[in-house]
Structure 1
Amino acid sequence: MRKGNNKKGYSNPTSSSYSSASGRAVNEWEYYDQLYNTYANKSCGMIDPEGIERLCSDLQVAHTDVRILMLAWKMQAEKQGYFTLEEWRRGLKRLRADTIAKLKKALPELQQEVRRSTNNLDFYTYAFKYCLTEDKQKCIDIESICQLLELVLGSEFHQQVVSFVQYLKIQTDYKVINMDQWLGFYRFCQEISFPDSSNYDSQQAWPSIMDDFVEWMRSK
């Protein structure tokens, strides 16, 4: 979801409710914003990489943990390593987490949500786009792709990822990976028997890198 969309569960930031405990009107975003300001860099008005590291420390997860990428997906964060206030509100509202304790508790549920078939491809696609850090960038270098594959698919399709990463590291024909190739490997994991690849048909519309990978696998 991009800026401007107002989907169910993400309401008007100006709305408020009455707090009987304090006897005053409370903006519904107040607690989300307080938590945001704990990590935001005041000079840029965003949570930057340093703020994300402090967030990870409080959540007791590594900044390289896939759950942080899942959190970015839930926020639909646009810039790698940065969370805007709008993205933060959007993501944490959906997770119903306005404290660190609640956010920490929500992470396992977020993992389950991502693993559902209806969300898995969307998350996988988002992960690629999130790593496009330059304007008009459409491809990602092989080294970064190998790390990203292990992060987003390594637990679910371990053998396929290990083999594909091994192939990517020794081959010399491809220096970068584009979205079509990225999605081609996801489809391969979903549809093709492994390791024999007996139902792989190169006459179908596969990216050429998948043809080369399967040929390499069969030659082994």
Structure 2
Amino acid sequence: MPRPSKRKAASSADVDLSVSPAPKKSRTKQIDKVGHLFDTYANKSIDLIDPAGIESLCSDLGVDHTDIKILMLAWKMKSEKQGYFSKDEWRRGLKCLGVDTLPKLKKAVLGLDKEVMKSGYFEDFYNFAFQYCLTEDMQRSVDIETICELLNIVLGPQFPTQVNLLVEYLQIQSDYRAVNLDQWSSFYRFFKEVNFSDLGSYDSMLAWPVILDSFVEWLKERENKS
């Protein structure tokens, strides 16, 4: 049997070296899977996942479209327009979650609330929730009805009693028709720092918005009547 030539041996070595880019192909395939999943829910005429697509996604994920987990998913994507996910936002969110299939996404979404609370990112998410409700250009405040819904969704699980009282006050007061970001941010700090069983600890001289001064006065009057 003839011996292999040196030229053939060198050719064999070249073939062996050519397999090195395989990991890059694998990464490309993963990106395509994310894109294909986006296309499953996207409105192809606008190349966005619109409200109908999000509702379909929620159904497949087994969560209601009003569930805080969907708001957290929008936060992961850094979504800019309420009710819509762009392809770039979708890729960013799924990359952040480390998922590329619907079953993986479902598992990640179902654990989002625990992750956000434990990771120390809740305050960032809390402020995002407000900004996500700014649906018009140059809008700086959110109407009271929406704020009450948002309080129940975002802070209700942590501070049920406090949220119920604040929502009750916001619904009956007539001084404010909308809430800005500074007021919204102060609600969370207020719930963390002020003991509702001892309102004497509330110092109106500190940097609290006037809306909270009025809320505390309302709470005190309510307590005296009872």
Quote the offset at 1:28 in angstroms: 3.7
Q: Confirm or deny: 8 A CA contact 2:30 2:100 kept in the other structure.
A: no
CA radius of gyration, larger in: 2
TM-score, with length taken from structure 1: 0.87
CA distance in 2, matches of 1:117, 1:98: 22
Q: Is the 8 A contact 1:73 1:126 kept in 2?
A: yes
| Structure 2 CA distance for aligned equivalents of residues 31 and 66 of structure 1 | 26
CA RMSD of aligned residues (A): 1.4
The equivalent residue for 2:43 is: 41
Partner of 1:83: 85
Cα offset, 1:94, TM superposition:
1.2
Shift of 1:170: 0.7
Identity %: 56
1:4 corresponding residue in structure 2: none
Q: Name segments (4+ residues, structure 1) moved above 2 Å.
A: 16-19, 25-28, 195-198
**2:157 aligned partner:** 155
Report the equivalent of 1:5.
none
Q: Residue type matched to 2:115 in 1? A: E
Give runs of aligned pairs for residues 123-162 of structure 1, distance below 5 A: 123-162=125-164
Q: Secondary structure at the match of 2:48?
A: coil
What CA deviation, in whole Å up to 9, does each residue of 1:13-43 have, x standing for no partner? Answer: xxx7234xxxxx8344111001000001100
Indicate if the aligned counterparts of 1:17 and 1:28 stay in contact, CA closer than 8 A.
Answer: no
Kept in 1, the 8 Å contact 2:42–2:53? The answer is yes
> CA-to-partner distance for each residue in 1:119-143, whole Å, 9 max, x for gaps?
1110110000000000000011110
Gaps of 5+ in 1: 1-15, 20-24
Q: How does 1:47-58 map to 2 (within 5 A)?
A: 47-58=49-60
Gaps of 5+ in 2: 1-22
Match of 1:183 among 182, 185, 196: 185
